[in-house]
Homo-oligomer: A and B are copies of this chain.
Amino acid sequence: MVKEDNFTQSETDVLIIGAGPAGLMAAYWMARYGVNARIIDKRDTKVFQGHADGLRARTLELFDSMGFQHRVIQEGTISTVVNIWVPSTQGELVRQASINISRTDESPFYNTCLTQGRIERFIIDSIREHSDLDVEYSVIAETLDYDEELSNDPNSYPITVQVQALGEDDTKVEARCEAAGNEVTRDNLLPDDWADIVPRKKSRKTQVETIKAKYLIGCDGAHSWTRKQLKIPVEGSTTDHVWGVIDVVPLSDFPDVRRLSVVNSATGTILVVPRERSLVRFYVPVQTCEAGAADRFDRSKITPDLIRARVQAIFAPFTFDFKECSWWTVYQVGQRISAQSTKDNRIFLAGDAVHTHSPKMGLGMNMSLQDGFNVGWKIALAVAGILKPEVLETYALERHPLAEMLLEFDRNWSPMFNDRKPEGVDTKASDMALIAERFEDFADGWKVFYPPSSLVRKAEDNVEFAFARHMIPGERVRPVKLRNQADGTPLWTTRLLESDGRFRILVLAGDIRNPMQRQRIETLNRALAEQTGSSISPLGRYMEIPGQFKNPVDVLTVHASPWKEVEFFDFPEILRPFDPVKGWAYDMIWCDDACISDRYCDGKAYEKWGVDQVLGALVVVRPDQYIGWVAD
């Protein structure tokens, strides 16, 4: 590091710009791998109240693999039904439909609402648990230089970013607490968030620093500075609809104010989203601009009082008011997508920097988190030398089509909320149900449609393998609860497949009481033994196994014999290797058998996975729980 007065120069393997959901997820992987990385943010704190709040069950599955889903469940509010309210023929609002939206066969988790501020808290805590990496706030990127000629040398630093770290004095803390009229106080913050604000009461001088980096991830939001520096165009447009969003403790006699609801009254449409700590979020149309005048609405005219009045009008004759408002904002719906997600696979865009859309599907934060998760593990493994840089191509290949699908969904879904009462309101619930159904797998995150690549080998018909019908390469491992063979404890696969950066070979051993099956396992055993220390096809083509990372490929065995009828030591040693300090690998042999002490451990994993109980199968799972490769 060169230092000269207030000017310093430094190198880092990975620079992340923006510490929102996407940036923090990417940083998580740097922390897990001990990658030399930095994460900067122009804001002076993380988010505390409001902002995004919708978490799909799939996102909680990822959180489980990162070790903090229990905190989300403890604090968040779940929604298992959505209710549609429309005017009756007499003009009164009536509950037209109550639609079940929980799919307990698909996931152990639920659609959950919790402020983005808490999600950022949990990811930051997880990053700190694994490393000394911490977000650098009040640091603004000012210039970006990219040397294309260096792009083919993975050890080069083709990226140069000059940043300015703002000076700060004591008064800044108070200013932080009053940002955007949404006051943050000790009373409305949880203690760990508050503790994070207080110690930063220190002064520093404004400093300029030049950071050279191998990789850059721009997670800097809808108005992405990184994207603008790269001159990547954005497609799509701002709509003419302006919405208010408000988080309040409602005073209302509307019967479903604590249930996820869409209210389509003659006066307009609002979305009711119950939240943590007695809060309810209301999305309310506050203005429709004149056609062609989309850029000219006056944001300053929208106030909480105006939003209150709009809710009152739409809710009538039900009452509505509030005294406590923890957060509010106003936004103009934009539906835009960045033309590219990467520059030469050295600079990446993730989250809102790629896609912006209507927030009313509870999808935005999920997409951003999953973008950051996807690009994060790949860069971390490439920098660590475990994966060849070529795999970085799969980021755009996998995530960009999803961004397009998101925009398509939004173009279908968003008008449901934009129009004033259309002809025949009573069709709305069924229209919404139709669209919801069409996009269900995508919206819930059950399916991501990742295409064939160096990390995904599809079946010939591009759909399924007969011996593992519901283990589709490019899709996630469907969560099941398994019993550990050694101690009998049930565990969800979402936690078992920990996001620690390892590829995993799932040996679905079938019923090992069957002598033929035991023979097949022995054969596999020998094949694996021969490959130990070398590469395992087909991953090996893209994977290098350096000395500093032990076991980038893990082998997990899941058998289908009754738990009590086999013993841990019945399995070949390579499936449960011995470590001279840690002993036998008790965490590597699992059993698909029902456990009388746990109603969710029902012995149906093989059935859910479409795998034969006797013959089993072999599945390679990527570090992000997606299936890479399946064999019998």
Interface 1/0 per residue, A483-494 and B, CB below 8 Å: 010111100000
Contact B78 A489, beta carbon cutoff 8 Å: yes
Distance in angstroms between the alpha carbons of A595 and B78 in the assembled complex:
13
* Residue A110 lies at the interface, judged by CB distance under 8 Å to chain B: yes
Q: Residues of B contacting A564 with CB < 8 Å?
A: 98
Total interface residues in chain A, CB < 8 Å: 53
Q: How far is it, in angstroms, between the C-alpha of A567 and the C-alpha of B253 when the chains are bound?
A: 11
Q: Determine whether the beta carbon of A191 is less than 8 Å from that of B129.
A: yes
Which of B100, B323, B486, B580 is within 8 Å of A596, CB to CB?
Answer: B100
A71 within 8 A of B: yes
Q: Please, which residues of chain B bring their CB within 8 A of the CB of A584?
A: 251, 253
> Does A467 touch B at the CB level, under 8 Å?
no
> Does A414 sit within 8 A of B, measured CB to CB?
no
Of residues 74 through 103 on chain A, the ones whose CB sits less than 8 Å from some CB of chain B are 74, 77-78, 80-81, 98, 100, 102
**A70-B73, A102-B597, A191-B129 as given contacts; A567 in contact with B259, CB under 8 Å:** no
Report the nearest B residue to A259, measured CB to CB: B487
Q: Which of B323, B578, B600 contacts A599 (CB 8 A)?
A: B600
Q: How far is the CA of A595 from the CA of B81 in the complex (A)?
A: 11
Partner of A581, one of B98, B249, B582: B249
State whether the Cβ of A51 lies closer than 8 Å to any Cβ in chain B.
no
Contact residues, A195-251 vs B (CB, 8 A): 249-251
Contact call A191/B597, Cβ cutoff below 8 A: no
Which residue on B lies nearest to A483, using beta carbons?
B80
Query: Given the complex of chains A and B, what is the CA–CA distance between A104 and B594 in angstroms?
Result: 14
Residues of B within 8 A of A488 (CB): 80-81, 259
Q: How far is the CA of A536 from the CA of B199 in the complex (A)?
A: 47
Q: Which residue of B lies closest to A68 (CB)?
A: B74
Would you call A252 an interface residue if the criterion is a C-beta within 8 Å of the partner chain's C-beta atoms? Answer: yes
Closest chain B residue to A583 by CB distance? B251
Given A486-B258, A568-B255, A599-B600, A74 contacting B70 (CB threshold 8 A): yes
Q: Is A274 an interface residue (CB 8 A)?
A: yes
Closest Cβ of chain B to A105, distance in Å, is 10
Asked whether any CB of chain B lies closer than 8 Å to the CB of A278, the reply is: yes
Taking the closest CB of chain B, its distance from the CB of A63, in whole angstroms, is 12
* Interfacial chain B residues near A249, Cβ < 8 Å: 581-583
A323 adjacent to B581 (CB under 8 Å): yes
Q: Which residues of the partner chain B approach A257 to less than 8 Å between Cβ atoms?
A: 486
Q: Is A549 interfacial (CB 8 A cutoff)?
A: no
**A7 in contact (CB, < 8 A):** no
A247-292 at interface with B (beta carbon < 8 Å):
249-253, 255, 257-259, 274, 278
Cβ contact within 8 Å between A583 and B252: yes
A77 touches B487 (CB 8 A): yes
Which residues of A273-313 are within 8 A (CB) of B? 274, 278
B residues less than 8 Å from A487 (CB atoms): 77, 258-259, 274
* CB <8 Å contact, B77 and A489: yes
A128: nearest chain-B partner, CB-CB: B191
Residue of B nearest to A254 (CB): B569
Q: Which residues of B contact A449 (CB under 8 A)?
A: none
Residues of B within 8 A of A129 (CB): 190-191
How far is the CB of A180 from the nearest CB of chain B, in Å? 23
In the bound complex, how far is the Cα of B598 from the Cα of A102, in angstroms? 10
Q: A8 → chain B, closest Cβ, in Å?
A: 27
Interface pair B250/A583, CB less than 8 Å apart: yes
Residues in B with CB closer than 8 Å to A191 are 128-129
The A380-407 residues at the B interface (CB cut-off 8 A) are none
Query: A258 and B586 in contact (CB under 8 A), knowing A73-B70, A253-B569, A597-B110?
Result: yes
CA A253 to CA B581, docked complex, whole Å: 14
Give the shortest distance, in Å, between A505 (CB) and chain B (any CB). Answer: 22
B contact residues around A595 at 8 Å (CB): 80
A129: min CB distance to chain B, Å: 5
Query: Which B residues are in CB contact (< 8 Å) with A104?
Result: 596-599
Does A344 have its Cβ within 8 Å of any Cβ on chain B? no
A142 within 8 Å of B (CB atoms): no
A596 to B101: give the CA distance in the assembly, Å: 11
- A434 CB to closest chain B CB (Å) equals 23
Contact with B along A557-578 (1 / 0, CB 8 A): 0000000100111000000001
A324 beta carbon closer than 8 Å to chain B: yes
What is the bound-complex CA distance between A142 and B567, given in angstroms? Answer: 57
In the bound complex, how far is the Cα of B323 from the Cα of A70, in angstroms?
A: 32
User: B-facing mask of A473-490, CB < 8 A → 1, else 0?
Assistant: 000000000001011110
Interfacial chain B residues near A102, Cβ < 8 Å = 596-597
* Most B CB within 10 A of own CB, among A73, A251, A257, A487: A487
Q: A70-B73, A278-B582, A583-B250 are in contact. Are A597 and B259 (CB under 8 A)?
A: no
- Closest-by-CB residue of B relative to A260 is B487
Show the binding face of A for B, using Cβ within 8 Å: 67, 70-71, 73-74, 77-78, 80-81, 98, 100, 102, 104, 110, 128-129, 190-191, 249-253, 255, 257-259, 274, 278, 323-324, 484, 486-489, 564, 567-569, 578, 580-584, 586, 595-600
5 smallest A-B Cβ distances: which pairs? A258-B487, A102-B597, A258-B486, A599-B599, A70-B70
List 23 A-B residue pairs with CB atoms under 8 Å apart, sorted by A's residue number.
A67-B74, A70-B71, A70-B73, A78-B489, A100-B597, A102-B596, A104-B596, A104-B598, A128-B191, A250-B583, A251-B584, A258-B486, A258-B568, A258-B586, A259-B486, A259-B487, A259-B488, A274-B487, A278-B583, A278-B586, A323-B580, A323-B581, A324-B581
Q: With A258-B568, A258-B586, A599-B599 given, can you name 7 additional A-B contacts, CB distance below 8 Å?
A: A70-B70, A70-B74, A80-B597, A104-B599, A249-B582, A259-B488, A274-B487
